[in-house]
Structure 1
Amino acid sequence: MEKERVIEETIEKYEKYINPAVARLFRFMGLSTIEQHASGVIITDSNGKDYIDCLGGYGVFSLGHRHPRVVEAVKAQVDRMPMSSKVLFNKPMADLAELMAKITPGDLQYSFFGNSGTEAVEGALKLAKVHTGRSKIVSTVNSFHGKTLGALSATGRDLFRDPFQPLLSGFAHVPFGDEAAIAECIDADTAAVIVEPIQGEGGIIVPSDEYLPALRELCDRHGALLICDEVQTGLGRTGRMFACDHYGVVPDIITTAKALGGGVMPIGAFTARPQIFEEYVTSPFLHTSTFGGNPLACSAAIETIKVIYEENLIEKAETKGRYFMERLQKIADSFPGVIQEVRGKGLMIGVELTKEGIGGLLMSELINKGVLVAYTLNNPKVIRIEPPLIIEEATIDQVISAFAYAVEQAYEMLEDL
């Protein structure tokens, strides 16, 4: 009885102090329970039920939950100095910046650290404007770059943008994957083109192999910067350290967050070429953050990067992702009336359904079977699968079994209509 009372009180607090609509949605999806404990790929609720986490905090838990090395690094830093004085040198931030220069493509060198992906995008947009002296930013339809005013101006979905109009001026949106549309839009006033190498919230949309190289060439021709938003795709998720590595493209600025904190601390960053960073060198207080680059978050990020390499998580993402998609494709072949397409790279996978309403049923059935997924924000027809990169084939097989059952239930429902 005590357990049920705590659950009900928590839901009531959501309704009264957080957002009643969120509470209703959770109840509708059969999530009337409290997350209690997590380890590796498993989340356990207050009733003792285990869930395989195939959502991964929208890309946060690439190392799984509570990776022991990252937890230990943070605990050790707590005992030394959790937050920076901001007036003395900060060794964890310096060490992390050096690592970022080593792991990012090409000659990217200088990093600025914030607390989230949207902050990373804000900083990148500001840097592009101050470096070029131009005001126009080209983005793509159905992109997602964050929800603060600057990042939201770049985000390509009217549902999120319209309630806050007028947003920042000078932003143009063109279809994703269409280099001709970019070519028509980019001009002498363009400061930057910002793009996700693979659209995440847009529905796990993978462009042609020629797309990103074409954007690189267009930006070079017009003197504009190329910003690759790798907040969701970066740090091994797609089977490369960064998704732009698939295409051999070096952006002028790259943004990271989500997985950078190892699922233990929030941290975001943008990393730029030296010549792009010159204005911030001349005026180092043009862009600052009170909590950005704090020792706790930087210690977590340093250990995260080490774990990614030492546990071969990039290679695992590629091989496990291929295995996962092959198994999902077999289900799709058996139920073409339910699944339209399976796509993705590495362990960034999208399953597009034939009808939007199927998504809620699939999610509900999967949750009942102990598998956590969600649909992408900009396309409710696409179920997103982004498990920790540490997931094993035996666990993938469990997910596939649950997914096959859920799809069969959806098929029978459609047959009855």
Structure 2
Amino acid sequence: MTAVEPADAQDSLSEPFLVRHLVALGLAVEYVRAEGNILYRRGADGAELPVLDLVGGFGATVLGHNHPELTRYAAELLDARTPVLAQFSLHPWADDVARKLNAVLHREFGTDEPYSVIFANSGAEAVEAAVKHAELDRVMRVEALRREVEDGVREARTAVRGGAALDPAARAALTAGSAGVAGGDGLQDAEALERLVREVAEADAPHWDAPPVFLAAEGAFHGKLVGSVQLTHNAAFRAPFRALAAPCRFAPLDRPGRLAELAREERRTVSALTVADGVVGVTARELPRVGAVVLEPVQGEGGIREVGPEFAAQAARTAEEAGCPVVVDEIQSGMGRTGAFFASSLVGLRGDYFVLAKGLGGGLAKAAALLVRQSRYRPEFEMAHSSTFAKDGFSTRLAGRVLDLLEADGGALYRLARDTGERLTARLEGVRNDFKDVVKDVRGRGLMLGVEFHDPAAAGPPALQEHVRAGTFGYVLSGYLLREHAVRVFPTASATSTLRIEPSVHLSEAEMDQAESALRGLCRVLRDGDGDRLLAG
């Protein structure tokens, strides 16, 4: 099967650079219809040609393309002239979604603490909202500490005027003129106090307004917007924009203790004056520094890598010790794809914040949500953050229906995702066992799976080796599977030798047969070193 290049592909004014790469890789295909796990493209004779879609909108079509009940409901909403944009009014449908999300969360985590829900249009936007809320909370805690320090100075002045003396250690800390104030009378203590206040203020000044630092895992992907891209480990995405937002530090998944080390390295304190038993002393106070610990239960763009219980537990401990929230990014892993609504519930990681997107809109609407634990929620955020198209009447109603479908029959779709994923994984493991020199690993959970390939031998065609060096080898594999087997897959963004497989929960046995046959065909070509066939367009 040969992909048909669009007539205007080379002249595209929408992402022309990307279009040229799609043409070169054999991926320049226009799809004209979608249903279930199938995308249809137009053939040279005008006929529709089916393509098995294992990309699934990067995880968005957990229920499949154009799910019949969702499309009927969407049509009803449009026919009824349902208001889409009605800002600064009541939103009962958004409230309904929030209640349903809380019910799921309470069931899977065994908690009754409510979570407030902030709506967004995309996963990256919801991550930005999480970063903003965490920073608002941190700044408010910094300001509260600043007021305590200022109150401590006033209390110390009052105490010295009443005859209190400076603690000898505080007196010794003065860097200049200590000998001139070594006595104990009130005047000398007052002068020493004012000098101490000035020196402490000067020493602490750089810390008060220092930006926060965030902690995440190596391989993390949390979006490509100004703030979220700094939480994304891939330097190619992050480094050009590092001056635009707060920095992030990353810990390897196989070294959970590194998270705590990073938090300690970023620790900052300020000095506060205290009065006890008629003596004015100085004590160190922890300054809120870490904005949040951000974590995907299953890394999507990092190569479909699961976060283990030990790393998850360390993330929770580190956040508690740093006084910051754990932000659990369920954008790709959530909505039932892994066999539970929240993949984090499978490793015992209860977030202070949860971020949902992709599947929340049922593959039809752009919908995302940030859930914030009530004990950490700042109501001031409601006036500090807004988004014109978030929380609109169309997407929230669809999201509510999506949640109904997922929760129906006691969560039957979660069990279906788990069982289908196990059968599909067994097939992929069979391919790996038969082609161990080609397939390096099969991993993931439920219907969020990755197949990692060994790099081809250096003796292959120079053009193929160039793709290996450029990090586009996985896209060459994708082009071959599309061209020769009518199967659509893509590599993960930061681990491009790993092909992601994220179909809907309704993947059939026949579709599994097609996927397995296609992968076996690809493996034979790779095993035979037939690079020219891989690159044939």
TM bin (shorter chain)? over 0.9
Give the aligned partner of residue 137 of structure 1: 214
Aligned to 2:70: 70
Q: CA deviation at 1:223?
A: 1.7
2:478 pairs with one of 342, 348, 363 = 363
Counting only pairs closer than 5 Å after superposition, residues 218-297 of structure 1 correspond to structure 2 as 218-277=318-377, 279=378, 281-282=379-380, 284-297=382-395
CA contact (8 A) 1:108 1:271 kept: no
In the aligned structure 2, how far is the partner of 1:266 from the partner of 1:376? 22
Give the match for residue 338 of structure 1.
438
Q: CA offsets, 1:79-105, max 9 Å, x none?
A: 242413212212211111111211224
Structure 2 residue matching 1:240: 3-state secondary structure: coil
Give the Cα separation in 2 of the matches to 1:375 and 1:298.
31
Q: Is this contact kept in 1: 2:299–2:306, CA < 8 A?
A: yes
Q: Amino acid of the residue matched to residue 53 of structure 1?
A: D
Alpha-carbon distance in structure 1 between the residues aligned to 2:260 and 2:114: 25
Counterpart for residue 88 of structure 2: 87
Q: For residues 55-204 of structure 1, what are the structure 2 equivalents within 5 Å?
A: 55-78=55-78, 79-104=80-105, 105=109, 106=111, 107-133=113-139, 135-187=212-264, 188=267, 189-204=289-304
Residue 186 of structure 1 contacts residue 222 of structure 1 at CA under 8 Å; is this kept in 2?
yes
CA distance in 1, matches of 2:315, 2:114: 18
- Superimposed CA distance per residue, residues 361-380 of structure 1 (whole angstroms, 9 cap, x where no aligned partner): 43223112111000000011
Aligned to 1:405: 521
Task: Report if the CA contact (8 A) 2:308-2:347 is conserved.
Answer: no
Residues 417, 505 of structure 2: 8 Å contact kept: yes
The answer as to 2:21 corresponding to 1:25 is yes
Which residue does the alignment assign to 2:12?
A: 16
Amino acid at match of 2:29: T
TM-score norm. by structure 2 comes to 0.73
Give the match's secondary structure for 1:148: coil
Separation in 1 of the partners of 2:83 and 2:517?
44
What is the letter of the counterpart of residue 486 of structure 2? G
Per-residue CA deviations over 1:129-163 (Å, capped at 9, x if unaligned) read 22233622112222111111100111111101122
Look up the SS of the partner of 1:166 in the other structure: helix
Segments of structure 1 that go 5 or more residues without pairing to the other structure are none
Q: Aligned-pair distance for 1:283?
A: 5.2
- TM-score, with normalisation over the residues of structure 1? 0.93
**Structure 1 residues 282, 24: CA separation in 2 closer, same or farther (over 3 Å shift)?**
closer
Structure 1: how far apart are the matches of 2:227 and 2:449?
Answer: 28
Q: Deviations over 1:170-198 (max 9, x none)?
A: 42222234211101012452121001111
Which structure would you say has the larger Rg? Answer: 2
For residues 40 and 417 of structure 2, what CA distance do their matches in structure 1 show? 24
Query: Partner of 1:285: helix, strand, or coil?
Result: helix
Write the deviation string for residues 232-283 of structure 1: whole angstroms up to 9, x where unpaired.
0001111111110101221100001011100000111100111211x2x245
User: In the superposition, relative to structure 1, how do residues 32 and 287 fare at CA in structure 2: closer, same or farther (>3 Å)?
Assistant: closer
Any stretches of 5+ residues in structure 2 without a counterpart? Answer: 143-211, 268-288, 457-467, 533-537
Indicate how the Cα distance of structure 1 residues 415 and 300 shifts in structure 2: closer, same or farther if over 3 A, else same.
Answer: closer
1:38 corresponds to which of 30, 34, 58: 34
Q: Distance in 1 between matches of 2:225 and 2:29?
A: 30
Give per-residue Cα distances to partners, 1:342-390, cap 9 Å, x unaligned.
Answer: 0000011011111174534432231121110000000111111111121
- The more displaced of 233-242 and 179-188 is 179-188
Partner amino acid for 2:474? G
Amino acid at match of 2:511: T
Q: Is the 8 A contact 2:29 2:41 kept in 1?
A: yes
Q: For 1:216 and 1:344, how far apart are their aligned partners in 2?
A: 22
CA 1:155–1:33: 2 relative to 1, 3 Å:
closer
The alignment's C-alpha RMSD in Å is 2.1
Aligned partner of 1:114: which letter?
A: A
User: Residues of 1 paired with 2:452 and 2:12: CA distance?
Assistant: 35
Moved over 6 A (4+): none
Say whether residues 1:309 and 2:315 are aligned partners: no
Return the offset for 1:211.
1.7
The 1-side partners of 2:363 and 2:424 are apart by: 22
> Amino acid of the residue matched to residue 38 of structure 1?
A
| Aligned-partner SS, 2:132 | helix
Q: Which amino acid aligns with 1:24?
A: R
